A and B are shown apart, each in its own frame.
Chain A
Amino acid sequence: MIELNGVHKRFGDKPVLRDATLRLAAGEVGMICGPSGSGKSTLLRTINRMEPIDSGDVRIDGRSVYEAGVDLCALRTRVGLVFQQFNLFSHLTALQNIVMPLVKVRRLARRAASAQALSLLRQFGLAHRADAYPDDLSGGERQRVAIIRCLALEPSVMLFDEPTSALDWRLRAEVASTLRGLADQGIALLVVTHDLDFACSLGDRFFLLEGGRLGEVDQGKLACCDPAFHGRLRQANLAFPRVAAVA
């Protein structure tokens, strides 16, 4: 469960987050939309303390992330973050990208970690690419490896920064079904996206970040068809969702 209570964050004089408040239960998928540079990625990064906040509080499963003495390494294994550019370790193969954190962070034996990683790769249809280096993987494959790398650490919360920005429509559908599967496992997902088709097809709840203010737009997917919502999205330079996808 993710809770943000009155989070304020500024870069120099520029306020990025103003009183951002959000609550997402386990198994829910929250979609965050907003214009470029509105602080969506920063919001994600404050949740796993990659960016410090100025005031407010962030809680994961009821425990404050910003209280003194929090074990950051343990926190970051509970809060998986999948980057827009995936950021796989370029000197390791797909399998090694997954095995290394398991061995180093979860202290699993290499054999057990390899078995677990292979089983996850198999689940995601990537067993045949286990030995490939990130440069040899396609965008979709890289993304799935990045998801598996986070997932292997058994997080209770997963954050996705523009997960479909580099993918075609077929891979987007694949990613959407993958993320839905993760939510069904009880993982709370917070997804930053510009892709409203994708947001509407996947999200349970929708948030709009504008001028540093985070607001929940509507609780249902049908909110995307609301003309007022469209107007705000237009102001935010976002694309229209396809009504067919919503229906």
Chain B
Amino acid sequence: MELDWSILAEHQFRELLLAGMLYTLLIATVSTLLSLVLGTALAAARLAPSRWLAWPATAWVTLARHVPGVFWVLFFYFAFPELLPDDWGMVLNRWVHFALLAGVVGLTVDNATYVSDIVRNGVLAIPRGEQEAAKCCGLNPWQQWTCCLLPVTLRIVMPPLANRTIHNFKNSSLCMVIGVPELTWATQQIESLTFRGIEATLAATLFYVALASGVGAWARRLERSSKHQWRGASDVFQRERRALREQRLIARGWARIGRRLPREQVL
């Protein structure tokens, strides 16, 4: 069998593939970011001392985890507008980008359930003492999460979170079932128009592999930097570090010119 790569250079198919790649990138990136936020919020709710928060969040995650991702995409595209008041449903159905929106929301809901589990397990892995220390320092619950729990949790959950992100990037192909012109949909179009599906499929495969490799490399880099204990991760403390460095330089200068530094007063 001979492969004819020239069809990918033809204007209409090239445009189709490029648009597909852009849509895939857009769907995957937006749904991943949104699901990180939603998943973290769900994890916080599940760990909250209040049953009114913890129980609904746990019930939701349990339900959503047992439903296929494609179901959410179909649900938000076909069923959700029906649940809204008539006018709203009509407006949504007429909107040009509604399929894209439904796809992003469906993937977000699907991915958020797994993210919430990952984040929750990460928080539970933090030594209890650190959580209690945060309380004892007088930090409010929001500050406990943002200043103490999340930075440590991210360090712990980086590998499973990276895996999940790669999975979500691949799941963007589910949006083809509602007609979003993403990469897999574009590949299918080329195949049905030219009967030369292998070339288009191979090109799409390369793109998916590159995308997943990029995400993996980025996650590994983050993981490596977290192993260096988040040095430089927060600009909040950059100034202090600079001040310390300056103080050390000054101290060295004093030592060099042979003057005695004041002894540190020990209480």
Contact = CB atoms under 8 A, between A and B. Distances in A.
Interface of A: 48, 50, 73-77, 80-81, 83, 85, 87-93, 95-96, 99-101, 103-105, 110-111, 114, 118, 122-125, 127, 130-131, 133, 135, 149-150, 153, 177-178, 181
Interface string B125-138: 00101101111111
Given A133-B229, A149-B137, A124 B266 contact: yes
A135 B231 CA distance: 14
B159 to A, nearest CB: 17
A123 B129 contact: no
B229 A73 contact: no
B153 to A, nearest CB: 10
Nearest to B134: A89
B267 A181 contact: yes
A114 B127 contact: no
A125 B264 contact: yes
A224 B236 CA distance: 50
A65 B161 CA distance: 41
A199 to B, nearest CB: 20
Given A90-B152, A91-B155, A127-B264, A101 B243 contact: no
B53 interface: no
Given A81-B136, A87-B129, A91-B155, 20 more contacts: A50-B136, A75-B138, A76-B137, A83-B129, A83-B136, A85-B129, A87-B132, A88-B130, A89-B130, A89-B152, A91-B151, A91-B230, A96-B237, A104-B139, A104-B143, A111-B239, A123-B266, A123-B267, A125-B264, A153-B137
Contacts of A80: 136
A183 to B, nearest CB: 12
A101 B139 CA distance: 7
Given A74-B138, A101-B139, A122 B133 contact: no
Given A89-B130, A91-B155, A104-B147, A114 B139 contact: no
B241 interface: yes
A44 B148 CA distance: 23
Given A125-B266, A127-B264, A133-B229, A105 B237 contact: no
B240 A87 contact: no
B138 A83 contact: no
Given A95-B244, A99-B237, A110-B240, A76 B138 contact: yes
Given A124-B267, A125-B266, A93 B237 contact: yes
Contacts of B194: none
A93 B138 CA distance: 19
A73 B138 contact: yes
B265 A122 contact: yes
A178 B267 contact: yes
Interface string B243-267: 1100100000000000000001111
25 contacts: A48-B136, A73-B139, A75-B138, A81-B136, A83-B132, A87-B129, A87-B130, A89-B133, A89-B148, A90-B152, A91-B155, A91-B229, A93-B237, A96-B237, A96-B240, A100-B137, A101-B138, A101-B139, A105-B137, A110-B239, A122-B265, A123-B266, A130-B244, A133-B229, A135-B229
